Amino acid sequence: MIGMINDCAYVGETLIKYFPKDIEVTHIKRSRGLWDKTFGIGLKIMRARADVYHVHYLLQDCYIASKLGKRPLIGHAHGSDLRYSLYHPLWGRIVRYNLRNCDRVLVSTPDILPIARRFRDDAEYLPNPVDTRLFYPKPIAKHERKRVLVGFDLNWDVKGADTVVRALSRIKDKVSVYVIAYGRDFWKTMALANSLRLYLNVLPRVRHEGMRDYYWSMDVVVDRFRLGSLGMVSLEAIASGRPVVVNVSSRYEEYKDFPLKDLSDEEEIAEAVLNADEGLWRKEYDYLVRHHSPEDVARRVLEIYKEMEEGHDELLGI
């Protein structure tokens, strides 16, 4: 029995979907409500019985599971918990406790692996699985102007939405730009685009499965430009058959065979958008298949579960 606790970017749900049918999983989820993310989740975790506990995100859910003695315990970091919460005056103590006290630590992107390894030499990078039953290629329709989706939440400091808007304003006569109405800097982004005379078509937020329809209606998808790593927008857009323009850092060995690297200059971004075509997509898709296959990632996770169970049994003398 596997106890999957919380989720992030649907990674937990995707893993469960691609586990063999004979693997029994209890997925403990919560909302953002005060009760549900404190006492509510605590009661759910306390009542849970499993052979391995896999917690997504190194905040209160992981801390509660550890304090309740749920072992063996895997803490799965997904980004902001190590990039930002680690340095928060309150949350930082919880993240550091989880890093030190989990039986295993996994991280979802290469840029946070060095952070985790400051606390755990055995921290492991686990590529995010992409649900290829949900996100799959469809042919691109012909459009008079190239349709560009800014697929991430509109955040300047973390995702670089301002950089993307400035870059796209350079080619505004050649593209139709679409954004999704979410992100803490949504209105700042709209104001910036207006000042640059770049018209942004605003799309409503949709459920996870609805994103594929957005991808299919575009010619190219643009993802984040601050972190140097691939997010789920990039991966799912590529799986949906669309070339992606994103800043992937050449510092990370894990991205050595990704075709686009180190895009940060506005002119380079604009040129990459104009040049994005089926040839680029095929190279990106080859990378995706090699590294983010849901079957392969699920298989690795099951290997980790087995190692954890065997190690726990030895510790207990079973």
Distance CA 16, CA 23 (A): 9
The two most distant CA atoms of the chain are separated, in Å, by 70
Tokens of 100: 């030190």
Q: How many CB atoms lie within 10 A of CB 236?
A: 27
Crossing angle of helices 161-169 and 266-275, rounded to 10°: 70
Distance CA 43, CA 58 (A): 18
Distance CA 251, CA 261 (A): 9
**The pLDDT value given to residue 310:** 81
With beta carbons less than 8 A apart as the criterion, state whether 219 and 276 touch. yes
Domains and CATH numbers, the chain: 2-129+294-316 (3.40.50.2000), 146-291 (3.40.50.2000)
Distance CA 94, CA 101 (A): 10
**The pLDDT value given to residue 64:** 95
**The pLDDT value given to residue 33:** 61
All residue ranges of the chain with pLDDT < 70 are: 31-39, 312-318
**The pLDDT value given to residue 309:** 87
Question: Which residues on adjacent β-strands are paired with residue 76?
Answer: 56, 106
3-state per-residue secondary structure call for 25-57: EEEECCCCCCCHHHHHHHHHHHHCCCCEEEEEC
* Residue-wise pLDDT tens digits, 166-220: 999 999 999 999 999 999 999 999 999 999 999 999 999 999 999 999 999 999 9
**The pLDDT value given to residue 143:** 85
**The pLDDT value given to residue 316:** 47
Task: Return the amino acid letter for 66.
Answer: S
Distance CA 202, CA 181 (A): 6
**The pLDDT value given to residue 312:** 64
**The pLDDT value given to residue 32:** 63
* Residue-wise pLDDT tens digits, 70-100: 999 999 999 999 999 999 999 999 999 999 9
**The pLDDT value given to residue 36:** 59
With beta carbons less than 8 A apart as the criterion, state whether 225 and 269 touch. yes
User: Which residues, at least 6 apart from 117, have a Cβ–Cβ distance to it below 8 Å?
Assistant: 123
